[in-house]
Amino acid sequence: MTDLKKLIRDIPDFPKPGIVFKDITPLLKDPAGFRGAVTQLCEAIRRESCDIIVGIESRGFLFGAAAALEMGIGFVPIRKPNKLPYETVRQSYELEYGTDEIEMHVDALVPGQRIALVDDLLATGGTMAASCRLVESVDAKVCLCAFVVELGFLEGRKKLAGYEIASLLTF
């Protein structure tokens, strides 16, 4: 099995000084590493008996869509505002300095459906918490929040208290 941690590159001072960005592009370019990450995500999703995968823009699309294809289940994107062509539901959330919003098609999920939310990175947890609220606003059930990388020192799990969480790597 490929050591996924070796395929995550640190980029110092990106996007601003003092930040060490965890770059997943070496993992994506490595076929065994990418497959290994998707396989591990699928195992976590199967354990929770999820019906469909919802991926968060944009890197959550890469892992979520690949896992959905591997599992033979559907994939739904959550996007930034005004990127989806059909009627949407929207959720606002707080950032460190201001607010942001995410959207999903109003008919993307059905009440009671068990959802696995997938993103590449858990940092402060704000985007994933908003995604959970968005999914729940259409009466679907979040059964798992899954990540490739978790920055444990940022304590994003605190914003996701009460949700099942799976992270492949923790830094």
The catalytic residues are 59, 96
d(CA 21, CA 4): 16
Nearest to 108 by CA among 63, 76, 131: 76
**How many angstroms separate the first and last alpha carbons of the chain?**
19
Beta-carbon contacts of 49 under 8 Å, excluding residues fewer than 6 positions away, are 114, 143
Helix or strand (DSSP H, E) at 137: helix 126-137
Cβ(143)–Cβ(49) under 8 Å?
yes
